[in-house]
Structure 1
Amino acid sequence: MDRSTIEKISSKQFRLLVLFFSIGSSILLVPPALIQASKHDGWISGLVGMAIGAGIMLLYMSMMKVCPDDTLFSIFEKSYGKIIGKTVSLFYSFFIFFLTCEVVSNMGDFMTTQIMIETPKMYIHLLFLVPILYGVSKGLEVIGRSAQVIYPTFLILLVFLILFLIPEGEFRNIEPVLGEGVKPVLSGSFSILTVPYLELFILMMIAPHVNERKEVGRAFFIGGLLGGFILVFITFLTLIVMGYSFSSLVQFPTYVLAKKINIADFLQRVEVVAAAVWIISLFFKVAICFYATVIGLSEVFALKNKKILLYPVGVSVLYFSVYIYPNTAFFSMFVTEVILSYSLLFGLVIPLCTLIIIKLKNKKDAIASKGVEGNAN
């Protein structure tokens, strides 16, 4: 890839995009999944999942280091050849596309069950996708700068939420620690491993656009860890404030959690803060997935004008986000029985095989070049 012709973002903007992507829909999906799997030890499962997720991120960082100027799809072509590489890339494009639909559907389910109950999902999705479509059409630089501008607001709202929830908590709600043993903790860790860590390979589609090449891996790692820590801490707050018995029965405990804020019977019902934190991060996750889908398909089909895919992909996301997950019960079943398998395949197995192959190829090329030099001498 010719770095003089691509858009550029700073390492700080890249770190913020990784952070927002990591939180995204995860802030509403991960805490209840951890709590249901590990009960009082949900926060411990989160920490275990973070540790495993750090290993996943190191895998992606190694791929970025080996091919610093290539997107994920370019790396596939280098590793497997043009035909197989494009085929693998096409499957990845479909995976990222359906992930985009899933995240938009999450937002619609939340809004239609908690806030705008009588509003059809289609219109909520449309209002959400229009600014995303506009942002992606303006390019990655605009998305990166927008993340940098909105980050202080996001941080203030998040800190506000945490500071006013801590006094409402009781540490006895997380006792007994490891009361169910180690097995539920380990199995529950897959919740945070699947979302978001096994999805972070999508950020490799924008990693070549970072100005400071030496800072790419560090920015990626810090952003992913910060996002995971926030998810684990929100899970911890949910447990100490609401306890396992109540939070396990609620569909969106993170949102209900904010209703517990009560300062001198004056500051109450500020759950909109939790919704704002979630919607901000969700916006950037959808924007990144949408951008990766468009860029990926344009690379697969060798399109010079990438913008011609914007509206077809946008209309497709709008349609499938409404009809692919007809209700929350179907979505829960789909996530627990299907998503994990595909996430392991696309987020771990194929990247690991790709890294091994490309390192072997680089080693073979290095030996061959040394042999040529030796013969010349």
Structure 2
Amino acid sequence: MSLEKDRISTNQMIILGLFTFIGDMALVYPALMISGAKQDAWIAALISIPLGLATIKLLLCLADIEPNKNIIELSLQILGKWAGTAVALFYLVFFLIAASTYIREIEDFMCTQIYEKTPGGVIRFMAIFLLVYGVRLGLETLGRAAQLFFPLFAVFLIGLLLLLTPDVKMERLYPIMNTPVPDMLHTLMYGVFYPFGELCVFLMVYPYAQKNSKTSRDIFIALIIGALGLNLILFFSLTVLGVYASEHQFYAAYILAQKINIANSLQRIEALMATAWIISTYFKTAIYYYALTLGTAQLFKLKSHRPLILPTGFLLFGMSQLIAKDIIFYVKEIPAYWVDWDFTCAFVLPLMLLIVYYLKKRFAAKV
């Protein structure tokens, strides 16, 4: 019997997926891509879209093996008790580290850009308090809240892009195709597995969505729109700020919002960008938090995941402090290795599970 009784609609799952897809990427994606491919970052970003969609197709193929089972249950079913437990634990550790990292991102952003004199622990506590509250209300409530906040998020993001149009300077895209192949391939890894790979957490949510024959199509359409939106932020970062500023400003999209100045009257609206980013990052973190508690309860055969929510909040509070000693360490060290986590959880392990499943199925058919 499933521990999760809540059900969300396809639209709610897709909106949560868009929040997870864009999430923290709205601010940090330009710097990550431009640091590797310079002026060619927009080309790498466009190439990464079909590759990222192929990764999502792989995840959907795995999820459709047993549409009512999540990745923890699938791992145990396909690989057996010991190997399945090892894979399940790997995913749970990833969910823990990811949720801690996103909380730390919120803390560092708020403390360095907005509330500079506020202790980081205060911001962290407020974020975790809201996360505990949201996850305790359940998946269905998170889905409905996402539907409520999504129009606000979309308006802020679209408004930002439209208001930046007068500041675009296309000459900042030159020279084109000047990036060495190894650097371009490395940037492609960022473009594929940073935004798309982190959707592997939806292997924990997919079974609880009310699916129909058009669910897969709707998922791909939504992700294409989300990818284009993310790449537009990258494009504006290149053409408004330039390569050097975009590469060395970790929160390039926030700096972009500070550049908006329409007739000296409409300006300093970066708080709207910050609001949009915090909304999306909140839902992204909440999904990882939810996946961690639910997966832990299923792996250890608990009757409910709800008793784990508050203790996990304390764990996340400490982990988000330990994840990096300061923002410099976070910016310089974590992104280069984080893509390996995403690659493993979104491609290597799902592919392995699919191969083992079909080999076992083929062997059983012969017997």
The TM-score range, normalised by the shorter chain, is over 0.9
Aligned equivalent of 1:240: 239
Q: What is the CA distance between 1:183 and its match in structure 2? A: 4.3
* Stretch of structure 1 that moved more, 247-256 or 296-305: 247-256
Q: Distance in 2 between matches of 1:84 and 1:245?
A: 46
Aligned equivalent of 2:256: 257
- The aligned amino acid for 2:56 is M
Aligned equivalent of 1:373: none
- The aligned amino acid for 1:195 is Y
Q: Is the 8 A contact 1:48 1:186 kept in 2?
A: no
Alignment of 1:155-304 (within 5 A): 155-304=154-303
Aligned equivalent of 1:342: 341
TM-score, length basis structure 1: 0.93
Q: Residue deviations 1:152-190, cap 9 Å, x none?
A: 111111111111011111111112221335543332122
Say if 1:45 and 1:209 are closer, same or farther in 2 by CA, change over 3 A.
Answer: same
Aligned equivalent of 2:149: 150
Aligned equivalent of 2:122: 123
- The aligned amino acid for 1:52 is L
Q: What is the CA distance between 1:85 and its match in structure 2? A: 1.0
Q: Residue deviations 1:123-168, cap 9 Å, x none?
A: 1011112122111111100000111111111111111111101111
Aligned equivalent of 1:97: 96
Q: Is the 8 A contact 2:194 2:339 kept in 1?
A: no
Aligned equivalent of 2:131: 132
Q: Is the 8 A contact 1:21 1:282 kept in 2?
A: yes
Once superposed, what is the RMSD of the aligned Cα atoms?
Answer: 1.7
Q: Is the 8 A contact 2:45 2:231 kept in 1?
A: yes
Q: What is the CA distance between 1:242 and its match in structure 2? A: 1.2
Say if 1:241 and 1:337 are closer, same or farther in 2 by CA, change over 3 A.
Answer: closer
1:40 matches 2:39: yes
What secondary structure does 1:254 align onto? helix
Q: Residue deviations 1:92-145, cap 9 Å, x none?
A: 101110100001111111111111111111110111121221111111000001
Aligned equivalent of 1:30: 29
- The aligned amino acid for 2:315 is S
- The aligned amino acid for 1:40 is Q
Q: What is the CA distance between 1:350 and its match in structure 2? A: 1.1
Q: Is the 8 A contact 1:258 1:269 kept in 2?
A: yes
- The aligned amino acid for 2:245 is F
Q: Distance in 2 between matches of 1:176 and 1:291?
A: 45
Aligned equivalent of 1:310: 309
Q: Distance in 2 between matches of 1:72 and 1:278?
A: 28
Q: Distance in 2 between matches of 1:80 and 1:221?
A: 29
Aligned equivalent of 2:9: 10
Q: Distance in 2 between matches of 1:40 and 1:32?
A: 12
Say if 1:108 and 1:307 are closer, same or farther in 2 by CA, change over 3 A.
Answer: same
Q: Distance in 2 between matches of 1:121 and 1:49?
A: 35
Alignment of 1:364-375 (within 5 A): 364-367=363-366
Aligned equivalent of 1:374: none
Q: Distance in 2 between matches of 1:323 and 1:186?
A: 31
Q: What is the CA distance between 1:9 and its match in structure 2? A: 0.6
Q: Distance in 2 between matches of 1:249 and 1:343?
A: 24
Aligned equivalent of 1:56: 55
Q: What is the CA distance between 1:239 and its match in structure 2? A: 0.8
What secondary structure does 2:12 align onto? helix
What secondary structure does 1:265 align onto? coil
Q: Distance in 2 between matches of 1:286 and 1:210?
A: 19
Aligned equivalent of 1:87: 86
Q: What is the CA distance between 1:367 and its match in structure 2? A: 4.9
- The aligned amino acid for 1:319 is G
Q: What is the CA distance between 1:218 and its match in structure 2? A: 2.9
- The aligned amino acid for 2:208 is H
Q: Distance in 1 between matches of 2:192 and 2:327?
A: 21
- The aligned amino acid for 1:243 is G
Q: Is the 8 A contact 1:44 1:185 kept in 2?
A: no
Q: Distance in 2 between matches of 1:246 and 1:132?
A: 33
What secondary structure does 1:94 align onto? helix
- The aligned amino acid for 1:124 is I
Q: What is the CA distance between 1:365 and its match in structure 2? A: 4.0
Aligned equivalent of 1:375: none
Say if 1:223 and 1:133 are closer, same or farther in 2 by CA, change over 3 A.
Answer: farther
Q: What is the CA distance between 1:337 and its match in structure 2? A: 4.3
Corresponding residue pairs, total: 367
Q: What is the CA distance between 1:344 and its match in structure 2? A: 2.1
Q: What is the CA distance between 1:13 and its match in structure 2? A: 0.6
* Stretch of structure 1 that moved more, 138-147 or 40-49: 40-49
Identical-residue share of aligned pairs (%): 31
Aligned equivalent of 2:351: 352
Q: What is the CA distance between 1:227 and its match in structure 2? A: 2.5
